[in-house]
A and B are shown apart, each in its own frame.
Chain A
Amino acid sequence: MTAKNPSPVETVSEFIEQFWNRNDLECVDRYLSDDYQELSYQSKEGLKQFAARILEAFPDKQYAVEEIFGQGDTVLVRMTVRGTHRGMFFGNAPTGRSMEVTLYRRYRAENGKIAEHRGWIDIATMMKQIKGE
């Protein structure tokens, strides 16, 4: 008997925890398929670089999954990211201010591997918060 594959929702939930919260950037090798399509950060490497940049800018960042929808192999997640601005963020020097911003990520996953990702975030609200406007 073979072990049952995790559902797409389970796969995505685990990946978010490992990659975005525990900052285990190398876990992409376990969770992302060989033919992974990255539609927001260009590539697996681009995804890791972006995550490293966000971690430098907001070292205490944490993503809370607020809602997760799964239908077939598609998973859509609404999250809140919270963190303190302690490093350079796209040309903005650290302000020490905190941010709390909503984002959505859409994944396609099957057989325990994520095959596609695209993300959306409210950067206008984030910039307003870190600038203290």
Chain B
Amino acid sequence: MTSKERNNAEAVKAFIEDPANRELLERTEQFFAGQWTEAFADRRYAAEEILAQGDKAVARIAMTGTHAGAFAGIEATGRTIKGTQFREFRLEDGRILEHRGWFDTGLLLPQLQSRP
């Protein structure tokens, strides 16, 4: 890991941990983007791993929340859920130029669908 990559990883970590960036951290192009904040209450995010490579970095972000509203056609269950988000970043001189996020649903849906 070069010092530039180390700096980029630090910048990404700081960005994720800053509460002011919460809304940015929930953006995704997935079809359910508009449902996310109502479907899940008490959302908490924490960076679990950041890989930096050249001008790019990717963060694996763990999420916890409560299934409080309809999600992908599944009505609220009130369950506590765990989720995973990946967010990829492009940086220049330690500044974030752009980022795009993606939420896993493969491990999320079974938590909403399984019988209690």
Contacts and interface: CB of A to CB of B under 8 A. Distances in A.
Interface of A: 67, 69-72, 74, 76, 78, 102-104, 106, 119-125, 127-128
Interface in B87-116: 88, 102-109
Name A's interface SS: strand
B12 interface: no
Most buried by B among A69, A121, A128: A69
B60 interface: yes
A122 B30 contact: yes
Nearest to A124: B105
Given A104-B102, A124-B109, 5 more contacts: A69-B53, A70-B51, A76-B51, A122-B105, A124-B30
A125 B105 contact: yes
B61 to A, nearest CB: 12
Contacts of A69: 51, 53, 56, 58
Contacts of A106: 60
B58 A76 contact: yes
Interface in B44-79: 49, 51-53, 56, 58, 60, 72
8 contacts: A67-B88, A71-B51, A71-B52, A106-B60, A120-B86, A124-B72, A124-B108, A128-B31
